[in-house]
Amino acid sequence: MAAKLIKGTEIREEILEEIEAEVAKIKEKHGVVPGLVTILVGENPASISYVTLKIKTAHRVGFHEIQDSQPIDLSEEALLALIDKYNKDDAIHGILVQLPLPKQINEKKVLNAIDPDKDVDGFHPVNVGRLMIGGDEVKFPPCTPAGIQEMIVRAGVETKGAEVVVVGRSNIVGKPIANMMLQKGVGANSTVTVVHTGTKDLASHCRRADILIVAAGVPGLVKPEWIKPGACVIDVGVNRIGEKISEKTGKKIAILSGDVDFDAAKEIAGSITPVPGGVGPMTITMLMKNTLKSLKFRLGIN
């Protein structure tokens, strides 16, 4: 039987509508809207397209949004001064510095300079610590793991007591999602195993998973025989495996593949995310949610 498709594109619309409605209510009652600034240094084409979409989405849900584009030769000192300016700006509740940064700038220093209470990416060590503690301590879960958890919950997949296997141990996806799924609470309370390049037998761990979350960056890594029948499979991989001409625009676009052999896996899994159109759209959506949360923390409402 074919698996149920968990579509990020549809869940995104549901969440953005919820955010838009909440923003309108807060604006009416408190006279403020969430403010998001995205700082882009240089002209990396992928970064430009991500930032453009972030700002477009922020605009759509009624945020005050600023796109701050800086030259590629910006000094580290100048970027730190810019962050300091936005840290002090009361109209700004979320600061996002688009990564990667040019070589002359120390990424760690920059991320650490963002006020943890405006760090809507959730990359600051204070927010990493808050996530580890869990519960009410958590302010800004990083956007991709938050999107994954939201998809699992909205797809109606039981997480309590479930065997969750996470493939990959990155700071942005693998480590935080593993940590989130083991906490007490809704959409979590699971038994979590993290497997990685040092794991002896990846397949045997994956086969035990009720929920398999794959963020390895290796196209087609997970074979259909690694999937437990009926499992929920979340494919975080976005691998460019070639190029094609878009039928819509006539322009060259990337051919994307996930980390899971989708066509075969969908015959075995109970539910599965496609690539593209699965986890991808959720990341920017959760950035909006974090920025709204930041304003709500500021106003003391929840």
Residues that bind ligand GUN (CB under 6 A): 50, 96-99, 121, 143, 283
98 an active-site residue?
yes
- Residue 183: CB partners within 8 Å, gap ≥ 6? 134, 135, 189
Minimum distance, C-beta of residue 6 to ligand GUN, in the bound complex (Å): 20
The alpha carbon of 170 is separated from its chain's Cα centroid by a whole number of angstroms, namely 13
CB of 240: closest distance to ligand GUN in angstroms? Answer: 14
How far lies 122's CA from each of 27, 117, 139, 141, 150, in Å?
Answer: 25, 9, 8, 6, 16
**Which of 50, 226 has the CB closer to ligand GUN?**
50
What residue number has its CB nearest to ligand GUN?
A: 99
Among residues 143 and 233, whose Cβ is nearest to ligand GUN? 143
Catalytic residue among 98, 119, 235, 259: 98
Q: Which is the catalytic residue, given 118, 119, 121, 293? A: 121
Closest approach of Cβ 39 to ligand GUN, in Å?
9
Residue 113's nearest CA partner among 130, 128, 97 is 97
Residue (65 or 121) nearer to ligand GUN, CB: 121
Residue 74 identity: L
Distance CA 272, CA 279 (A): 10
Active-site choice (54, 118, 175, 293): 54
Of 172 and 231, the one with the shorter C-beta distance to ligand GUN is: 172
- Give me 130's structure tokens: 């808050």
- To ligand GUN, the closest distance from the beta carbon of 45 in angstroms equals 13
Residue 255 backbone dihedrals phi, psi, to 5 degrees: -95, 125
Query: Is 54 among the catalytic positions?
Result: yes
Distance in angstroms (rounded) separating the CA atoms of residues 65 and 18 = 19
Please, are residues 290 and 34 in contact by the beta-carbon 8 Å criterion?
no
Q: Is 56 a catalytic residue?
A: no
The catalytic residues are 54, 98, 121
